[in-house]
Structures are given as C-alpha cells and as structure tokens.
Structure 1
Amino acid sequence: MKCIVGLGNPGKKYKDTRHNVGFMVIEELLNRHQWDLNKKKFNGKYAMEHLQGEKVLLLQPHTYMNLSGQSIRPLMDYYNMDVDDVLVMYDDLDLPPGKIRLRQKGGHGGHNGIRSSIDHLGTKEFKRLRIGIGRPTTSIPVVDYVLGSFTKEQQEDVEHSIKVAADACEYWLQNPFLEVMNEYNS
C-alpha cells in the first residue's frame, strides 16, 4: 500500500490558492479515475483505491497547512504503513510555476506543512514532490502571496505541473522512486 498526500488548507476560502497546489494534484488524480475522497478520519479526507495493482491512499489533511503531520501520522499508524510508502506533495516558492521536483528526503526549507510532517513522522527521510509556485515579483508579503491565487500568466504553467505531478504519482505506483526521480526531475 502507498499513500499520496497533498498538502493544503481546507475550505472554499483557500481552494484556488498557491498554497493548495498539493490538494490540486490529489483532485487531478481523483478526476482521472472517477474517485472521491469518501472517508473522513484522521483530521482529513481520504480515499482508498486500487490502481495498477497497487492499493493507494490519497489524503488531503484538513488540519490547515501548519499541522499537516497531525493527519498523516495517524493514517499511517492505522494502516500500519512504513514512511517509505508515503509521498508528500506541496508548494515550493523556490521553483517557478510549471516545474516540479522530487526528493527522497530533506529539511523543511521554511515550509510549515513539511516542518509539521517531519515532526510527526519523526524523520526527514520521506518522499516529497515539490510543485513550483515561484516567488512574488512585488513587495507582497510571502504569506499573502502563498494564500493568493495564481495569476493568469501562471495558470497554464501550473495546470501543466499539476498534470505532470499526477503522472509522477501514478508512475511511482509501479516503479522505484529513484526511477521516478530520474524520469520527472529532468
């Protein structure tokens, strides 16, 4: 069993914000396969499905970004999952819109959702898929930028990166993560 986690904030207020791009990838996967997040537990919404012979959990934590680990850890414990079978997707200011980057481990880089995940998983060694949102080009505070919507100029690139991120998730179900990194980090 593998778990794909998309980080974001719950509620209509945050639906189309840059910080919710992890949620957007989960929604892309749900739409592709006509699935629903039909389970509410572990401070989140999730689906348990089968794809390509693999059982997969898709999770959107509903704890708000800064407490994401409070949803991921209980789900992992309940299903007796190893951290090696978890992939966490989130927004990244240091990547331009349209780019994704996969990593096997790392620090939080100032991202509070990843900081919470590290704290609750008890390790920095879990798979990540970073989705570029770029940095603000004006003097807007970073908090306002990540909680704002994509510009029209960014929208096409972001939609492309969401599809590619979903492709990478599907590829991971059948391939070692190093191979996924080699395929999608180019």
Structure 2
Amino acid sequence: MKMIVGLGNIGARYDKTRHNTGFMIVDELAERNHIDFDKEKCNAMIGLGMIENEKVILVKPKTFMNESGRAVKPLMDYYKIDKDDILIIQDDLDMEVGRIRLRQKGSAGGHNGIKSIIQHVGTQEFKRLKVGIGRPKIMTVVDWVLGKFKPSEQLQFNNAKDQAVDAIEYWIASGDFMKTMNKFN
C-alpha cells in the first residue's frame, strides 16, 4: 500500500492558495482515479482506493500545515506503511511556478510542514514531490504562500499539477522511484 500525502491547510479561507498546492494535486489524483475523500482518521481526511492495481491511501492532514506530522505518523502506524511507501506533496518557494521535482530524501529546507513530518516520523528519508510556487518579489512570504496564483500563472500551475499526477501514477505503476525521478525531473 502506498500513502500519498498532499500538504495544505483546511478551510475555505485557504482554498486554491499557493500553500495548498499539495491538496490540489492530491485532489486531482483522486478525481482521475475515482477515489473519494470520504473518511476521517488520525486528524486527516483520507480516501482509500486503487491506482494501477496498487492499494493507495490519499491523505489531506487537518492539522494545518505546520503540524502535518501529527497526522502522517499515526496513519503510517495504523495502516502499517513503511517510510519507503509514502510520498509527500509540497509547495516549494525556490522553484518557479510550473516546475516539479521529485526527491528521495532531504532536509526540510525551511518548509514547516516537512519539518513537522521529519520530527514525527523520525527521519528525513521519505519521498517528496515538490511543486514550484515561485518566490515573492515585494510581499512577505506569509502573504505570498497564503495568496492565490495570479491569472498569468494559472496555466503553468495547471500544467505542473497534471505533470505531478502523471509522475505519481508512473511511480505507482513502475514501483521504481529512481526511474520516475529520471523521467520527470
């Protein structure tokens, strides 16, 4: 079983904001594969289903971004999911809008949601799918990440979202994350 976690913040106030990139991508993955987020468990909204003949659990933590680990670790324990079978989808300020990057492990790089997961899971060695949201030139980082994509950026973001979902499905089908990184990075 694979666990795909989209990071974001719960509530209408945060819908479609840059910081909810992970939620938007996991929602698209769920829609493409006819999986409903119809359960709540361990401080998260979850959807159980099949993708490419593999059981998956799609996760949207309800803990808010900075406490994501409080949902991820209990779900890993409950479903007996190894760290090698989780993928965290996160926004990334240091990448331009429209870019994605897969990583096998790494530091939090200043991302509080990833910091929380590292703290609760006890390792930096878990897969990530980073999606570029760009860096603000004038406004504060907080206002930027909690703001929505500009109309001029929406096409690039939609392309990144499609590419991200393609990459996730490819990883699940192939079972080979390195091959997936080589194809999509």
The TM-score with structure 2 as length reference comes to: 0.98
SS in structure 2 of the partner of residue 101 of structure 1: strand
Give the 5 Å matches for 1:10-159: 10-138=10-138, 140-159=139-158
2:144 maps to amino acid? Y
Displacement of 1:33 in angstroms is 2.1
1:160 maps to amino acid? N
Question: Identity rate of aligned residues, in percent?
Answer: 52
Return the alpha-carbon distance in structure 2 between the equivalents of residues 113 and 15 of structure 1: 17
Verify: 1:180 aligned to 2:177, yes or no: no
Displacement of 1:144 in angstroms is 0.7
Return the alpha-carbon distance in structure 2 between the equivalents of residues 118 and 66 of structure 1: 12
Q: Which runs of 4+ in 1 moved over 4 A?
A: none
1:165 maps to amino acid? A
Aligned residues: 184
Return the alpha-carbon distance in structure 2 between the equivalents of residues 110 and 164 of structure 1: 24
Displacement of 1:35 in angstroms is 1.9
Return the alpha-carbon distance in structure 2 between the equivalents of residues 120 and 154 of structure 1: 34
SS in structure 2 of the partner of residue 115 of structure 1: helix
**Runs of 5+ in structure 1 lacking a partner?**
none
Q: Please tell me the root mean square deviation across aligned C-alpha atoms, in Å.
A: 0.7
The TM-score with structure 1 as length reference comes to: 0.97
Return the alpha-carbon distance in structure 2 between the equivalents of residues 166 and 11 of structure 1: 23
Contact kept? 2:9, 2:63, Cα under 8 Å: yes
Displacement of 1:85 in angstroms is 0.2
Displacement of 1:137 in angstroms is 2.1
Displacement of 1:52 in angstroms is 1.3
1:173 maps to amino acid? I
Displacement of 1:107 in angstroms is 0.2
Displacement of 1:114 in angstroms is 0.3
